[in-house]
Amino acid sequence: MSNSIDTHYNDGMAAFVSQDYGTCIDHLSEVIRLDDTHKLALVSRGAAFMRTGNFKTAIADFDRVVDMDPDYARAYHLRGLAREVEGDDDGALDDFNRAIDLKPDYGAAYHSRATLHTKTGRTDDATEDIRMVTQLTQQNIETFANENNVWRSQQMHLESIFETELNR
């Protein structure tokens, strides 16, 4: 059964990437039929429903994930996006806040909250969130650069050892 779940999940995600949301929803629905606790399939299917404009069904999928795992920041963020489109700005703000509380370095949730703050006239709050997005982006760039430098140093060290061994 697990092989079938994996196959349907992978096929569903491939369809999502190809923007074939109907096929994606079909495959992920099959995953959920086989395993109704598959959080990634529920979140991904919810995202596919959002892409098709079916926000109420997307919210239902995100609700299921939040009920299963109240600490799943991405489910709150995506549900907040769907709620905002549905006109539930207060619910969206609650979800964005919860996503950020759970994962303080979740830049996309800050960005979404900044957009909502701007829409609702809270420009000072929006500015603060954009500052946070900028700070997180800078940290990510620095982390990537540092990790790349560490990798490069290790690679150069290995090449040096290899060259020394070859010259013996």
Phi-psi region of 53 (alpha: psi -120 to 50; beta: other; left: phi over 0): left
The SS3 of residue 106 is: coil
Q: How far is CA 135 from CA 115, 126, 130, 142, 165, in A?
A: 17, 14, 9, 11, 45
| 8 Å CB contact between 75 and 43 | yes
pLDDT digits (tens, 9 = 90+) for 137-165: 787 666 665 565 555 555 655 555 555 55
The SS3 of residue 20 is: coil
Report d(CA 12, CA 42) in Å as an integer: 11
Domains in the chain, CATH or no CATH each:
1-61 (1.25.40.10)
Q: In this structure, what token pair is assigned to residue 115?
A: 């957009």
pLDDT at 151: 55
Beta strands (DSSP E) in the chain are none
Whether pLDDT at 166 is above 90: no
What is the pTM (predicted TM-score) of this model? Answer: 0.80
- Count of CB atoms within 10 A of residue 107's CB? 18
pLDDT digits (tens, 9 = 90+) for 15-25: 999 999 999 99
Residues above pLDDT 70, as percent of the chain = 82
Closest CA to 94 of 76, 67, 114, 110: 76
| 8 Å CB contact between 117 and 147 | no
